[in-house]
Amino acid sequence: MPSLTTPALVCSLRAHGEHGAIARLLTPDHGLIAGYVRGGRSRAMRPVLLAGNAVMADFRARTEDQLAGLSVELSHSRAPLHAEPLPAAAIEWSCALTAATLPEGTPYPALYSALDGVLGAVEAAPAARGWAAALVRYELLLLAELGFGLDLSRCAALGDADDLAFVSPRSAAAVSRAGALGYESLLLPLPPFLLHGGSGDWAQVIDGLRLTGFFLERSLLTDWRADILAARERLVDRLKRAVA
């Protein structure tokens, strides 16, 4: 990728040198790409390189192996949301998760569309009722895209697709109420909105976050990537307090 101009979503920013920064952006056709922004920590650039912002990105590199130089032009700012604790936590977590788990240079068009949708939903309904379920679905999609998808099509114990209500933490497969009889305490609740659509009530959303969080932590957020779990804990805590 010697050169590329593309729309992108800002996912993370890391200081580099005295004034520069390395930004990691999710693009629709080329996946996650990192680039060096000269003066990326300046007063002018800080509001542009906020997580969740939509930008037009221009990457330039001499070779395929070189970290590209990056210049960005703001397309849509979500800066006001960073001043509100709950929306800020949702943006911080969804973008950090994306930056930490996706391999660079691999296209994930479905994830780009889904993340853009989650960020748009947060912007449209900062109070969380309109975006919490979408965030759970995004986490579920990310697991699937990276090869750790849950099988919610039929009961792992009985083989049928009726009355699915749990997920096995061992097999990541759904279990019906009948198949779970006597073992409910060992299984993770499966919220109905993940099967039938809709947004679910708050208890179901929390169950959904618990479900996806278990598999994210087990399968993806290991080693150095576990550091970003603090962002998720802040989000879940704020959600619980908001609906208490």
Do residues 233 and 92 make contact, with C-beta atoms less than 8 angstroms apart? no
Q: 123 and 198 share a domain?
A: yes
The predicted pLDDT at position 242 comes to: 81
What is the arithmetic mean of pLDDT over 26-44?
94
Task: Assign 198 a pLDDT band (cuts: 50, 70, 90).
Answer: confident
Are 217 and 241 in a shared domain?
yes
CA dihedral 135, 141, 144, 148 (to 10 degrees): 0
Residue where one domain finishes, among candidates 77, 109, 140: 77
Specify if 172 maps to a domain: no
If asked whether residues 69 and 115 sit together in one domain, one would say no
Residues 45, 141, single domain; the answer is no
Residue 162 inside a domain? The answer is no
Q: What is the total count of domains within the chain?
A: 2
**Distances from the Cα of 231 to the Cα of 50, 116, 225, 234, 238, angstroms:** 16, 19, 12, 5, 11
Given CA atoms 113, 119, 123, 129 in this order, what sign does their dihedral have? positive
Residue 210, in any domain of the structure: yes
Answer yes or no: do 94 and 142 share one domain. Answer: yes
Whether 122 and 1 share a structural domain: no
161 belongs to a structural domain: no
Domain that holds residue 4: 1-77
Does the pLDDT at position 102 exceed 70? Answer: yes
CA distance 228 to 241: 21
Question: Are 135 and 57 contained in the same domain?
Answer: no
Q: What would the mean pLDDT of 210-222 be, rounded to a whole number? A: 96
**Residue 92 located in a structural domain:** yes
Q: Is the pLDDT of residue 192 over 80?
A: yes
Residues 68 and 86 in one domain: no
CA angle 139, 145, 150 (to 5 degrees): 65
Give CA–CA dist 160/174, Å, rounded. Answer: 10
Q: Is residue 177 part of a domain?
A: no
Mean pLDDT of the chain: 94
**Is residue 240 located within the same domain as residue 134?**
yes
Q: Are residues 113 and 233 in the same domain?
A: yes
Q: Indicate whether 215 belongs to any domain.
A: yes
Which CATH number goes with the domain that contains 27?
2.40.50.140
Q: Which of 192, 168, 83, 131 is nearest to 139 (CA)?
A: 131
- Residue-wise pLDDT for 75-87, tens only, equals 999 999 999 999 9
Tell me the C-alpha to C-alpha distance, in Å, between residue 97 and each of 11, 136, 141, 177, 187: 9, 12, 12, 32, 25
**Of 34, 7, 32, 33, nearest in space to 20 by CA:** 34
18 within domain boundaries: yes
What pLDDT, on the 0 to 100 scale, is given for residue 1?
59
Residue ending a domain, choose from 45, 60, 77: 77
Same domain for 218 and 143? yes
Does 84 share its domain with 32? no
Single out the residue in 54, 77, 100 at which a domain terminates. Answer: 77
